[in-house]
Structure 1
């Protein structure tokens, strides 16, 4: 699954790195320091490219910019060469044009998921009650809040590391982050009041986890990836509980794969919702939008 800062790339295999000059202490304001950084970025890019990083120049620039001193830069490059996702190393991901905090052990928001956010922004109104289930870093809800200008934002995740990370992105925007299993985490006062329910629930079939890129398979939490035997287990639970939480005219919006979209739509229909599949081939993104049969209807984007 592609990541955000460097798009898609091969994993960097472990290598011995010796690209730093011992004792280098640049003056950050000097022209010589600028030249040194250019040289350093070029050296790091060469090493990363040899390790299989497709966007080595971009990664080198980000690492140099993020490091506060040479020892930290050396450590960060070694981490990247060992296969740690770039976003986990620099501490952020570019998502919907904003830097979202990302921490090791937390799912990295994908570029394609921006499609879910932008479609939600076409439905929701400023001040809407928004819930971001399986929130991971909280980037989805935070980005939607920014696009709307404001909303009543609630995010939840079962994983404690994700909850701590999400608070860094959600709380500065006035939102709340809750820990627990899907709807169990949410305040009961939200029942029947949610205008937009977002869920990037895990949808990779268990048997396919082993075929995922090592960056995801080895460094992101299994709970954020594994959707059960058919990839739909968590989506079923989300769809089954949605009607209790949605406001009249509210929408459930779920990311899925193009291949699984008919099944995801079927899950929503079985749960009593109308379902519309919306895709963007350029982004490789597919979502299914569910609406109440009585107050909802087909979606026009």
Structure 2
């Protein structure tokens, strides 16, 4: 269940042996190639409840498991989002999509998080849009399990299925915010991703087809019938793909624009149903 970001204090139940010290944990992580070893050591020490658990967590991280999978959660817009091995880890740049959604539809009463992964986007939106009806959907069963936990605090519902097929029919024409963090890595470039993503996150959450826009086009083509008048669709994409993504939105009957964040190197296409 989402909560505020934890404090930086270590676990008091750990022994005071040298192997449990921040310096030794950071050294082990740095030797394994972790760039932010000190920060990761702090987080692992705060999560581990016993010396044995600490040793196991450091070992999993040193073997290449994403830090978020080791901890069991990811920080996203100040929320602690539950994640488990095999589930897509929410990226900080996707916070920009949430910001754009709230700016475009600050009074949205129905929110859908499509291709939801852990449900981080939906949870972050619902945390601000008090009382909004929230639905999250993904084709991956593991993602749906995580999303169900993360949206529960907001009375949200998680559904398993392929894009719009997963959603209750009663949502048609009612959605104020449709956030779809679709996979957008071209198939031939998946192998170039960092090992943490390539080896530990589901391919269905990464591979966007030949030019990376296969899923985006499907979402853009079907969004208008689910959006309320004035409702918006938001999809993250790359700088290179953005012009084609805007065209796909317009072909789906939406009024589209591109929003960019230089700080986060994020590109979000926003489409509004007239």
Question: Could you tell me the TM-score, scaled by structure 2's length?
Answer: 0.93
Task: Map Cα deviations across residues 206-228 of structure 1 (whole Å, 9 max, x no partner).
Answer: 00000000000000000000000
Give, in whole Å, the separation in 2 of the partners of 1:229 and 1:125.
35
Distance 1:171 1:265, change over 3 A: same
Cα drift, residue 37 of structure 1: 7.8
Q: Does 1:28 align with 2:12?
A: yes
Q: CA RMSD in A?
A: 1.8
Corresponding residue number in structure 1 for 2:121: 140
Deviation (angstroms), 1:274: 1.5
The 5 A counterparts of 1:104-115 are 104-115=85-96
- Between the aligned partners of 1:100 and 1:34, the Cα distance in structure 2 is 28
C-alpha distance in 2 between matches for 1:87 and 1:122: 29
Contact between 2:115 and 2:180, CA under 8 Å: does it hold in 1? yes
What is the SS of the residue equivalent to 2:116?
coil
Give deviations 1:85-123, integer Å, cap 9, x for gaps: 000010111100111111111000000000001111112
Secondary structure of the residue that 1:287 maps to in structure 2? Answer: strand
Work out the CA distance in 1 between the residues paired with 2:56 and 2:270. Answer: 44
2:264 matches 1:280: no
Secondary structure at the aligned position of 1:203 is classed as: coil
Match of 1:124 in 2: 105
Aligned residues: 265
Of 78, 89, 94, 2:59 maps to 78
Give me the TM-score of the superposition, normalised by structure 1: 0.84
Q: Deviations over 1:58-85 (max 9, x none)?
A: 1111111111111111111110011000
Select 1:43's aligned residue among 3, 24, 34: 24
SS at match of 1:184: helix
Query: Could you say which residue in structure 1 is the equivalent of 2:84?
Result: 103
8 A Cα contact 1:127 1:150, kept in partner: no
Aligned to 2:259, the other structure's residue is in SS state strand
Match of 1:24 in 2: none
SS in 2 for 1:78: helix
**Aligned counterparts of 1:96 and 1:209: Cα–Cα separation in 2:** 27
Q: Which residue pairs with 1:256 in the alignment?
A: 237
